[in-house]
Amino acid sequence: MSRLLDAELTIQTMKLRQMGAKIKTINSKMCYVKFDISGFEVSYVYNINKNGNYFLERIKPYPLAIKEFYDEEQVIEIIKVDLEQFKNAIKSHNIQSFIDINRRLHQSIQKFEDLFLYYNVPLEECDKIISLLDALDQELKDTKNSSNRIYTKKEPDNL
């Protein structure tokens, strides 16, 4: 099995090298972590290599970008906090709306990427999108100010 995997990797890396890529292959272990919070799935994937680097990504209920860590305690702590926050969040009757909004935001990012990569977008259209994002940003701040804080063990990372 690992021999076939190696061969498959050779095909991919040879094609990528011909495209000009520099590739470093590292032996590592990948772990899928799954929690069931009253029927609500929260799952993660993380990768450990022997240099002690950890690459953690949340995959459910919605994906969170991959982050690199240098200490297993950090990885466990991130998952612990994330899990506690989801345990709180699912008690809210807005949880489904929250997930739907998140999914739609994610879809909007993908649509924007297509727009950028497939079309020559006029500058005034870009300005329109920026002003819509500013409005959304302001709405998020206003919502934060008018909402009760439910998790206090840690400060928000982005808000």
Partner 1 sequence: MFGNTQLIVAIAIFTLTYVIIVSEKVNRTAIAIFGAVLMLIFNIEMQEEAIMHVDFNTIGLLVGMMIIVNILKRTGIFEYVAIKAAKAAKGDPWKIVLIFSILTGVSSAFLDNVTTILLVVPVTIVIANALKLNPIPFLVPEVLIANIGGTATLIGDPPNIMIGSATGLGFNDFIVNLGPVVIVITGITMVILKMVYGKTLVADELNKRQILSMNEQLAIKDKTLLIKSLIVLGITIIGFMSHQSLGYESATIALFGAGLLLLLSKLDPEDILMEIEWPTIFFFMALFILVGALEDVGVIHFLAEKMLDLTHGDLFFTAMLILWVSAIASAFLDNIPFVATMIPLITSIGDLSSISITPLWWALALGACLGGNGTLVGASANVIVSGMLEKQGYKLSFVEYMKIGFPIMLVSVAVSTVYLWVRYL
* Residue with Cβ nearer partner 1 (21 or 65): 21
**Closest approach of Cβ 29 to partner 1, in Å?**
12
**Closest approach of Cβ 10 to partner 1, in Å?**
4
The residue ranges that bind partner 1 (CB under 8 A) are 2-4, 6-8, 10-11, 14-15, 17-18, 20, 27, 50
**Closest approach of Cβ 57 to partner 1, in Å?**
25
**Closest approach of Cβ 30 to partner 1, in Å?**
16
* Residue with Cβ nearer partner 1 (2 or 148): 2
Q: In what order do the strands lie in the sheet with 64-69?
A: 28-37, 40-49, 54-60, 64-69
Peptide bond preceding 61: is omega within 30 degrees of 0, i.e. cis?
yes
Cα-based torsion angle of the residue sequence 150, 154, 85, 100 in order, rounded to the nearest 10 degrees: 80
Spatial distance between the Cα atoms of 133 and 122, rounded to a whole number of angstroms = 17
* Residue with Cβ nearer partner 1 (30 or 109): 30
3-state DSSP call for residue 45?
strand
